[in-house]
């Protein structure tokens, strides 16, 4: 749990998004924007995009 107050309904959401849970409209806007930018805008499959994201995150030592 982050030191920022969070809505407990979003316990399964990554902390980077969950920290905005008290302002649901903002949280969903950021979440939707991220999904639209990251996934679905290329000819790659979702699985291929996820693999690339995982490898890049690992190289960058990113826990998200």
Per-residue confidence at 64, pLDDT binned at 50, 70, 90? low
Q: What is the pLDDT of residue 41?
A: 73
In this structure, is the dihedral angle defined by the CA atoms of residues 53, 60, 25 and 14, taken in order, positive or negative?
positive
**4-51, pLDDT tens digit by residue?**
778 888 788 877 788 888 888 998 898 888 888 877 678 888 889 889
Residues contacting residue 6 through CB under 8 Å, at least 6 positions apart: 18, 19, 21, 22
Taking 90 as the threshold, does the pLDDT of residue 56 lie above it?
yes
Backbone angles phi, psi at 35, to 5 degrees: -65, -40
């Amino acid at each position: 749990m982050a030191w920022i107050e969070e809505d407990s309904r979003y316990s399964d959401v990554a902390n980077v998004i969950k920290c905005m849970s008290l302002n649901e409209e903002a949280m969903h806007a950021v979440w939707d924007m991220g999904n639209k930018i990251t996934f679905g805008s290329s000819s790659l499959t979702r699985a291929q995009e996820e693999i690339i994201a995982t490898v890049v995150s690992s190289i960058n030592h990113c826990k998200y």
